[in-house]
């Protein structure tokens, strides 16, 4: 297994942008990040990703990068529900943005995951992973500071095959 990534704080400007994009996403999806519960917001994010994967219309303007918009809103709900933190994660020379659990045993790369779902027409497991984590809220599931990729573990439960619309 490869070495754990190196974590560093997300710079304030990037955090400002993530928050702004998250608020825009909420408005597009018709959810309120202040009063709607995180589970219902994650459900709306999941549904939007599924619609995009199947080539259906979503209420996000064509000019927006849907993966960034939906990833920001999803990540914001992880922070809100579980007390996770945004972090810059470096894998050698590669930088990615993640939300990480307090014990740093888990990480989710929301932008990368949503991009992958859309580009490869993959099964969307955003809501599934959120609900699984809610069942074990507050638990350290993996070794502390191992930064296990939650979505890779969920993909072992749900095969990452390309979706075909039927019926």
Domain ranges of the chain: 6-157
User: Would you state the pLDDT for residue 123?
Assistant: 83
Per-residue pLDDT of the chain (167 residues; tens, 9 = 90+): 457 799 999 999 999 999 999 999 999 999 999 999 999 999 999 999 999 999 999 999 999 999 999 999 999 999 999 999 999 999 999 999 999 999 999 999 999 999 999 999 888 899 999 999 999 998 999 999 999 999 988 764 555 444 454 44
Is the pTM higher than 0.85? The answer reads yes
pLDDT of residue 154: 79
Query: What is the CB-side half-sphere exposure of residue 126 using CA atoms within 13 A?
Result: 35
CATH number for the domain running over 6-157: 1.20.120
pLDDT, tens digit (0-9, with 9 covering 90-100), for 118-158: 999 888 899 999 999 999 998 999 999 999 999 988 764 55
User: Which pLDDT belongs to residue 1?
Assistant: 44
Sequence-distant (≥ 6) Cβ neighbours of residue 58 within 8 angstroms = 28, 48, 51, 52, 66
Burial of 46 (C-beta count, 10 Å sphere; 0-12/13-18/19+):
buried
Q: What is the pLDDT of residue 146?
A: 95
């Amino acid at each position: 297994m490869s070495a754990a990534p190196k974590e560093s704080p997300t710079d304030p400007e990037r955090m400002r942008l993530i928050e702004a994009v998250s608020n825009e996403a909420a408005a597009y999806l018709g959810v309120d990040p202040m009063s709607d519960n995180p589970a219902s917001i994650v459900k709306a994010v999941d549904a939007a990703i599924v619609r995009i994967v199947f080539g259906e219309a979503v209420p996000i303007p064509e000019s927006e990068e849907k993966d960034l918009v939906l990833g920001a809103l999803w990540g914001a709900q992880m922070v809100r529900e579980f007390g996770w933190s945004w972090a810059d994660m470096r894998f050698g020379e590669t930088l990615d943005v993640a939300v990480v659990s307090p014990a740093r045993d888990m990480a989710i790369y929301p932008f990368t995951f949503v991009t992958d779902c859309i580009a490869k027409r993959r099964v969307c497991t955003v809501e599934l992973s959120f609900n699984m984590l809610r069942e074990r809220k507050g638990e350290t599931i993996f070794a502390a500071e191992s930064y296990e990729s939650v979505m890779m573990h969920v993909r072992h439960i749900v095969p990452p095959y390309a979706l075909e619309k039927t019926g």
